[in-house]
């Protein structure tokens, strides 16, 4: 049995996946732009992820752009039957690497076809609509038109399941009225708990929640507490942050990313890390500061 099997499984669309997956964003160059600094190493990480039991990978054709999808295809195609590839659309990259909204029907349709081509797929397993109303995080804005386009592509058989990313609680509720939502992907971690109520709502309805930036935006005090807990457990701060997310709710799926095989194995080892009560108490206390 793979160590990541200890993390359990959860529903993603119509599949049961292990709760520890892999995020491919860091395989592109600096700023998620351009080719990887070491192509051979990038391919090795992807293959090591699958060999370690990972059965869902998060990616996007605007990583690079095109870079991570092409690496995934080169490393893993023909794909294992149980592998779920989750991509996202709604943005494009400027010549300087800038992140730009791409919400028109033409943009979204082209993005789906680009993902299909670069991944070597006839249908995409899960496509998240990435909202870009504010570059710094979720912000209210109209989603009906772009989500309806994505739902239409689903009806044409190009997309199996639809998700939403960087969304407010209100936008998630609106999205669920437009079409079935397989997952929500937002920034969330032990110190940034703005989606607590949303996670609980989604868990009640069997919908996956996929947090990103597990170490993002901590204050110096919060980072110090996390490091102290990690030292006591002979773990890394990232491992503690991931272990807390696994414990937070059964519908949370993790997609830690790395361009290093050693770091990949370190991340996946979190499945075997148990946080004792005093560690949980220390982390909860720090979250309020």
Residue with tokens 């949980």: 280
The one-character DSSP state at 7 is: G
The one-character DSSP state at 271 is: G
Q: Which of 46, 92, 49 is nearest to 69 (CA)?
A: 46
For the sheet with 124-130, list strands across it: 22-23, 56-58, 84-89, 124-130, 159-165, 183-187, 208-212
For the chain, how many residues are written?
A: 289
Q: Which of 145, 197, 194 is nearest to 166 (CA)?
A: 194
Q: Which of 118, 37, 32 is nearest to 75 (CA)?
A: 118
Question: What is the distance between the terminal CA atoms of the chain, rounded to a whole angstrom?
Answer: 40
Question: Exposure string (b/e) for 187-200, b if CB count within 10 Å is 16 or more?
Answer: bbbbbbeebeebbe
Query: Do the strands 91-93 and 99-101 form a parallel or antiparallel pair, or are they unpaired?
Result: antiparallel
Catalytic sites, residue numbers: 63
Residue with tokens 């009225």: 177
């Amino acid at each position: 049995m793979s160590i990541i099997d200890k993390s359990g499984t959860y529903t993603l669309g119509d599949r049961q996946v292990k709760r520890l997956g892999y995020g491919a964003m860091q395989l592109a160059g600096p700023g998620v732009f351009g080719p990887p600094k070491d192509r051979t190493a990038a391919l090795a990480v992807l293959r090591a992820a699958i060999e370690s039991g990972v059965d869902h990978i998060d990616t996007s054709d605007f990583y690079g752009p095109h870079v991570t999808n092409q690496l995934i295809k080169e490393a893993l195609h023909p794909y294992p039957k149980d592998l779920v590839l989750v991509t996202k659309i709604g943005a494009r990259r400027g010549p300087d690497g800038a992140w730009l909204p791409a919400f028109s029907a033409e943009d979204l349709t082209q993005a789906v076809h680009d993902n299909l081509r670069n991944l070597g797929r006839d249908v995409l397993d899960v496509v998240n609509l990435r909202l870009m109303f504010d570059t710094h995080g979720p912000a209210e804005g109209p989603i009906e038109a772009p989500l309806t386009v994505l739902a239409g592509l689903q009806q044409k058989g190009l997309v199996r399941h639809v998700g939403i990313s960087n969304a407010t609680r209100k936008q998630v509720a609106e999205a669920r009225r437009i079409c079935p939502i397989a997952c929500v992907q937002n920034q969330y971690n032990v110190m940034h708990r703005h989606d607590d109520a949303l996670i609980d709502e989604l868990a009640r309805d069997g919908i996956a929640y996929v947090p990103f930036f597990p170490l993002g935006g901590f204050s110096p005090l919060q980072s110090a507490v996390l490091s102290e807990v990690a030292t006591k457990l002979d773990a890394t701060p990232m491992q503690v942050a991931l272990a807390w997310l696994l414990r937070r709710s059964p519908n949370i799926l993790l997609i830690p990313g790395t361009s290093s095989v050693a770091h990949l194995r370190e991340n996946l080892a979190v499945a075997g890390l148990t946080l004792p009560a005093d560690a949980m108490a220390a982390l909860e206390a720090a979250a309020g500061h």
